[in-house]
């Protein structure tokens, strides 16, 4: 008698262990290797600046340099960082430079801004390696040396 695909077959015995599989590697689907040019760009960031690397989403692999006191992000063509996707508000967020580095603030966008997958409702100071999500875009933040450390 056949059984439906969704019900277990109680007549089948346990599956014997296979010699082919000794372990299942743990993979982080969000972690991808950086190219040599990306590594070089991060290593050569000017003091007081930072870089955003698009890890996921449209334009994956794109790099954005943060090198002014205020950097605007949005779908509006006048934004300093123009992210052309409907999931991004016209005036979505700003990055602001301080002595501690850059901080991100959401500007009341519909889909919100996220740092390390937590939605932000106030300004958040970023640390190297933080993941920033704006709409469908997942960006990794890399900080250059602080100005007083250069």
Provide the sign of the torsion angle of the four alpha carbons 8, 10, 12, 18, taken in this order: positive
Mean of per-residue pLDDT scores for the chain: 84
pTM flag (> 0.95):
no
pLDDT in tens, 9-48: 555 556 555 555 444 433 344 445 678 888 888 888 888 9
In this structure, the number of other CB atoms found within 10 A of the CB of residue 67 comes to 15
Alpha-carbon span 51 to 141, nearest angstrom:
6
Q: What was the pLDDT predicted at 146?
A: 73
pLDDT band at 110, cuts 50/70/90? very high
Alpha-carbon span 94 to 123, nearest angstrom:
9
Q: Does position 115 have pLDDT exceeding 70, yes or no?
A: yes
Kindly give, in sequence order, each residue whose CB lies less than 8 Å from that of residue 97, ignoring residues fewer than 6 positions away. Answer: 48, 66, 68, 69, 70
């Amino acid at each position: 008698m056949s059984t439906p695909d969704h019900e277990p077959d109680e007549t089948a015995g346990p599956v014997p262990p296979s010699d082919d599989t000794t372990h299942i590697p743990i993979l982080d689907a969000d972690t991808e290797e950086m190219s040599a040019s990306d590594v070089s760009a991060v290593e050569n960031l000017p003091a007081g600046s930072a870089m955003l690397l698009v890890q996921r989403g449209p334009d994956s692999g794109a790099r954005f340099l943060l090198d002014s006191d205020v950097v605007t992000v949005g779908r509006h063509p006048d934004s300093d960082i123009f992210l052309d996707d409907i999931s991004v508000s016209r005036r979505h967020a700003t990055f602001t430079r301080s002595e501690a580095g850059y901080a991100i603030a959401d500007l009341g966008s519909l889909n919100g801004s996220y740092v390390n997958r937590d939605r932000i409702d106030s300004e958040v100071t970023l640390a190297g390696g933080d993941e920033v999500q704006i709409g469908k875009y997942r960006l990794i933040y890399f900080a250059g040396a602080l100005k007083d450390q250069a």
